[in-house]
A and B are shown apart, each in its own frame.
Chain A
Amino acid sequence: MSSEKSVQATQLTRKFGDFIAVDQISFDIPKGEIFGLLGPNGAGKTTTIRMLCGILTPSSGAASILGFDVSKQTEEVKQRIGYMSQKFSLYNDLSVSENLNFYANLYGIPREKVKSRIAELIEIAGLQGHEKQLTRNLSGAWRQRLALACAIVHEPPMIFLDEPTAGVDPVSRREFWEMIYTMAGRGVSVLATTHYMDEAEFCNVIGMMYRSRLIALNDPDSLKDEMRGVLFEVDCHEPGRAEKILRDLPTVQDVVAHGVILRVLMTDKTKKVFLEKVLTENEIVIDRIERVLPTLEDVFVSLVDQENRLHVRAEID
């Protein structure tokens, strides 16, 4: 087994009774990379992370962190990972420095170094001057930064962040990702889940989860290139009626309304003139039709769409 890989998951599966929450997932994370795990609610992201951190045991399949098996070498794994859970899980009635102190002692940071390490973390998290403040009274963004600081007290080479920026304002989200980038720059590997597509763009590799399975795995640009079909942005009068008409076309895969602008995903080789013709025939006034590059969100929507169609077909068969 290569220890160059920070994470190696093979056919990782977890069942809760009859329900399969994670279905045969395989992926690697090389050292120093940022891996983004995307997917709708209930896709199985948290369950995957929990298995990798040794909180849940896999029903089948295997995973290793830096070459250590997650179900057999739990002590070795624990010393090397940092985990920030989806639900905020620091002690609200403890102050910023008390929380840090608690984890520093649990992780066995040498006593003489505890103080300097905490000072360092407070600086990384930008919490100077708030050491004595109770965690309960911190704003959302600061809490998340404190949670991250607590998770990296012992300088782990691998960190797992489960929706670290949920409910945080855009500016603070960017600051948070700066922190993640800084760490990755020092060789730390990161696995983060998120619902924000702009954050996904920051990742070196993206895994898309849907219905317990990994439906795509690649870097953001390749994912966009791979996307089947062509995307058009349509700005026209009567967008509601236009949406209905376009949806009924056999070559249209999906139509999404972004305010008054429609994003129309066509199957291969469709030309702009074709769309213009259809809309004009239906007496809709067109302001603008333009071919655009897909965003990760488009990629995701299209993949999910494809997946659902396969699913429906499988059920009919």
Chain B
Amino acid sequence: MRQSFRRMMTIVRKEWLHIIRDPRTLALVIVLPVMMLFLLGYAVANDVKDIPLAVADLSHTDTSRTLVDKLTVSEFFMYTHAAQSENEILAMMDAGIVKAGLYIPESFGRDVSTGGVGTIQFYIDGSNPTIAQTAQLAAETISQSMSQEILIKRLERSGTGMQLGLPVDVRMRYLYNPDMKRMNFMIPGLVAIILQVQTLLLTAFAIVREREQGTLEQLIVTPVRSWELMLGKILPFVVVAFVNVVMTVAVGAIWFGVDVVGSSALLAGLSLIFLLGSLGLGVLISNISKTQMQAMYLASFIMMPSFILAGLLFPRENMPWLAYYAGYFLPVTYFLEIVRGIILKGADFFTLWVWIWPMAVFSIVVFFASVLLFHKRL
């Protein structure tokens, strides 16, 4: 037993030297998470602010001007172009100069002031779904709140004195994300993805590289056992993954202001369980790959669906039913719910239990399968 432990730690030390001496691994370990964080943080999150907007106000009334003001004082839109007709707006959208357009017909002001329904036309460039989604929500919210104001004014003017209850406050829909900040949605997702990518890819690479470079052949003739070799190889990556989680969460809190509401200890503990499964998958991949290239392809095969189906970039609720249910087959789906629960809502162990147990079952099964199936062979 002591000899076993010694052999395992020998592998750990060697693996550690590889990690700190290989610039590519170091880059994957340190640069990748930070880069992903800032890339997603700025490219995705900031795009939904200041959407360039073209306005064609043919009505020229107070009401129409109020509407335009309301839209443009919000952070979402920026009034960049004035247009004279619907066609002009469409031309600008085609050219990509603006991402949204507002057409207010001549009759609008008259319709509203005479108690009718004022119709306006809002255009959204749907080619970037993230922008489109935000723009649509913002436009709906703003026009609804304006309708309410007009409604209230009409009621006041009609002098009935009756106090009507207001419709449900639409802001309620963004309970856990009051500013609709995408970073709140992204940071927890990044934690999950970084854990998945690093552990899966790095373990698979670390093992396959020995096969590719012929060093595995040398290891086979030594007394080191398969499980000692495997645990020795993955332990350093557990440490690396943890450092990364801490780094991501810290940057998220300090730079992007996404604080961890719940228990950090719980987050760490559940991350460890998720890690087991992910490391196991990496080992399984390494078992059937002869080259690092093959390992890369196989890993992408698991990682791509994780990015999409698990709900990292887009909420799963909006997905077609097939994609929605497919997500349940990915452990990262459960882990995402857990991480978001802890970081954003401060959820505790019992609240999260529905997500924890499927993930734990998966992780334990995969991990033990990988220990049993891993053989040091060519």
Contacts and interface: CB of A to CB of B under 8 A. Distances in A.
Interface of A: 50, 53-56, 75, 78-79, 81, 83, 85, 87-91, 93-94, 98, 102-103, 105-108, 150
Contacts of A88: 214
Interface residues of B, number: 24
A108 B7 contact: yes
Interface stretch (B10-18, B65-73, B91-99, B308-316): B10-18
What secondary structure prevails in chain B residues at the interface with A? helix
Nearest to B10: A105
B327 to A, nearest CB: 40
Nearest to B11: A106
Interface stretch (B215-223, B268-276, B295-303): B215-223
Contacts of A90: 215, 218
B224 A98 contact: no
Nearest to B4: A108
Interface of B: 3, 6-7, 10-11, 13-14, 17-18, 21-22, 213-215, 217-224, 377-378
A93 B17 contact: yes
A87 B218 CA distance: 10
Contact of B222 (A78, A87, A91, A93): A78
The 8 A-B residue pairs whose C-beta atoms are closest, nearest first, are A105-B10, A87-B214, A89-B214, A89-B218, A83-B221, A93-B21, A106-B222, A89-B215
A54 B221 contact: yes
B214 A107 contact: no
B10 A102 contact: yes
A94 B17 CA distance: 7
B328 to A, nearest CB: 41
A55 B18 contact: no
Contacts, number: 64
A106 B217 contact: no
A260 to B, nearest CB: 42
B221 A81 contact: yes
Contacts of B378: 55-56
B18 A85 contact: no
16 contacts: A55-B217, A55-B377, A55-B378, A85-B214, A85-B217, A88-B214, A91-B14, A93-B18, A94-B17, A105-B10, A106-B7, A106-B219, A107-B222, A108-B6, A108-B7, A150-B218
Given A53-B221, A81-B221, A106 B10 contact: yes
A75 B17 contact: no
A79 to B, nearest CB: 6
A103 B222 CA distance: 8
B22 A93 contact: yes
A83 B218 contact: yes
From B3, B13, B17, B222, name the one whose CB has the most chain A CB atoms within 10 angstroms.
Answer: B222
Contacts of A81: 221
